[in-house]
Chain A
């Protein structure tokens, strides 16, 4: 039984590590700030998530596992707020994303049409 848990937890830990590497590689390869955000979000969702699941399996049914779950919840609740704030700040500072398709018709929520011309 213990061996099975060890194997499963190592699968999760390795997957988490892999996703962290993939996210970092993506940050290097992406062309602009907004697309880099997408690569970064892999690190703090899949990378963090798989690592924490692996660590919870290692910790077993203990207080440490409960704390790890609290850390995961904290990251899942705060990281989208930070990402959104970053993207919004970039947009307000005048950085326009490199786009293949602009479906907004030049209208961005919260901006009136005159300031966007």
Chain B
């Protein structure tokens, strides 16, 4: 019920931002259509915590800026590699452990790895992620588990052991 209500509110807010027409008729139509969309979605059983993790929104406030900073740092590193004439790459395939407890956390971690330039998660199974890194140093950095711990903290709201 909580997820249903929040999905309606967020869908309606999304509709308001995209429409830009704020007359009574159109706003009522928008409210009805967002209600219908979420009713259809809940018949598909996708309106649950996994599809719609609203409890993570509060912690996204510190997690997303942290992730953006990681992306900028490693993006500049990879740009430097591309621009240097000798192309100093050392492609590495490595398995890293994921300590997240839920599927949402695991997806967040795998997507954070892929989003960061220089590392791509090529396979996820259980608590193991196979990562292709463009440099050996980048793979070692990831294996140290700093990003893993941060995503676990984002997922669980507390420091993982």
A residues at B contact (CB < 8 Å): 19, 22-23, 25-26, 29-32, 34-35, 37-39, 41-42, 45-46, 49, 63, 66-67, 70, 76-77, 79-81, 83-84, 87-88, 90-91, 97-104, 107-111
Count of inter-chain pairs, beta carbons less than 8 A: 145
**A91 with B17: CB separation less than 8 A:** no
Given contacts A37-B120, A108-B130, A109-B130, contact A45 B82 (CB under 8 A): no
DSSP majority for the B interface? mixed
Cα A49 to Cα B124 in complex, Å, equals 27
- CB-CB under 8 A from A46, the residues of chain B are 71-72, 75-76, 79, 117
Instruction: Classify chain B: how many residues form its interface, as a range.
Output: 35 or more
**B91 with A22: CB separation less than 8 A:** no
Instruction: For chain B, residues 102 to 139, give those with C-beta under 8 angstroms from any C-beta of chain A.
Output: 110-112, 114-126, 128-130, 132, 134, 136, 139
Q: Which B-chain residue is minimally distant from A84 (CB atoms)?
A: B114
DSSP majority for the A interface? helix
